[in-house]
C-alpha cells in the first residue's frame, strides 16, 4: 500500500506542476502522509485514507491561500477574487487583430491566451495595449488604451 500512495503522490505532483493551482500539491502531501501511515499500520486502509484527506484538507484550507499569495506576489501578478477573477480593468496586449463579435482576436492575460472582441467593433491591431472592460463567458471585451485608437468623441476647444 505504501507504493500505491507514493505513486498517487507523484502523479499529483505532476498535475500540480502543470496547473500551479496548489490543490494537487496538498493532495500529494496527503498521499505521502498516507504512505507514512501505511508503512506503520499495514492494512489500515481507512486510517490511511483519513490521514490523506485530513492532511490535504488542512493544507488546502489553511496553507494554500498563503502559498498562492506568495507565489503571485513573486510573479508580479495580483491575486484577484470574484467570478471572473478581477479580469475587468486589466491592461493586456493584443496578440492578433481584434474585431467585433464576428471577428474576435486574442489577448494574453495572466499568461493565458483569451478570446477578445473590440468594444466598439473597430479593428484593434496586434501589439496594441488594451483595457478589459467586460467578460462574457470566456470572451473579453477590450478597448485600446492608445488615445489615437479610442472611439471618436467630441472635443471641447480650449480657449
**DSSP per-residue codes, the chain:** -HHHHHHHHHHHHHHHHHH--SSHHHHHHHHHHHHHHHHHHSS-HHHHHHHHHHHHHHIIIIIHHHHHHHHHHHHT-----STTTT-TT-EEEE-S-B-STTS-EEEEETTEEEEEEESSS--B-TT-EEEEEEEETTEEEEEE-STTTSPP---PPP-
Among 75, 99, 122, the domain-final residue is: 75
**% of the chain with per-residue pLDDT over 70:** 82
**Averaged pLDDT, 90-117:** 90
Work out how many domains the chain is built from and give that number: 2
Residue 105 lies in a domain: yes
**Averaged pLDDT, 57-75:** 82
Kindly report, residue by residue over 121-153, the tens digit of the pLDDT.
Answer: 889 999 999 999 888 888 999 999 865 544 454
Residue 35 lies in a domain: yes
Give the closest residue to 28 by CA, choosing from 11, 51, 49: 11
Q: What is the domain-level CATH number for residue 119?
A: 2.40.50.140
Residues 6 and 31 in one domain: yes
Among 75, 101, 118, the domain-final residue is: 75
How sure is the predictor about 51, in pLDDT bands with cuts at 50, 70 and 90? very high
Residues 102 and 66 in one domain: no
- Which range of residues forms the domain containing residue 106? 91-144
Residues 68 and 31 in one domain: yes
Indicate if the alpha-carbon torsion angle 49, 54, 57, 59 is positive or negative.
Answer: negative
Give the closest residue to 99 by CA, choosing from 137, 138, 126: 126
Residues 103 and 64 in one domain: no
Residues 25 and 67 in one domain: yes
Residues 105 and 70 in one domain: no
Among 43, 75, 107, the domain-final residue is: 75
Amino acid at each position: 500500500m505504501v507504493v500505491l500512495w507514493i505513486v498517487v503522490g507523484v502523479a499529483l505532483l505532476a498535475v500540480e506542476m502543470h496547473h500551479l493551482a496548489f490543490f494537487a500539491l496538498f493532495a500529494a502531501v496527503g498521499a505521502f502522509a498516507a504512505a507514512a501511515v501505511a508503512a506503520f499500520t499495514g492494512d489500515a486502509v481507512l486510517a490511511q485514507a483519513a490521514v490523506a484527506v485530513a492532511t490535504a484538507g488542512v493544507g488546502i484550507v489553511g496553507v494554500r491561500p498563503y502559498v498562492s499569495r506568495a507565489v503571485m506576489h513573486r510573479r508580479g501578478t495580483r491575486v484577484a477574487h470574484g467570478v471572473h477573477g478581477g479580469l475587468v480593468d486589466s491592461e493586456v496586449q493584443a496578440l492578433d487583430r481584434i474585431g467585433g463579435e464576428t471577428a474576435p482576436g486574442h489577448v494574453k492575460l495572466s499568461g493565458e491566451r483569451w478570446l477578445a472582441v473590440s468594444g466598439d467593433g473597430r479593428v484593434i491591431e496586434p501589439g496594441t495595449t488594451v483595457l478589459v472592460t467586460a467578460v462574457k463567458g470566456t470572451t473579453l471585451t477590450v478597448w485600446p488604451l492608445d488615445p489615437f485608437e479610442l472611439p471618436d468623441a467630441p472635443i471641447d476647444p480650449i480657449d
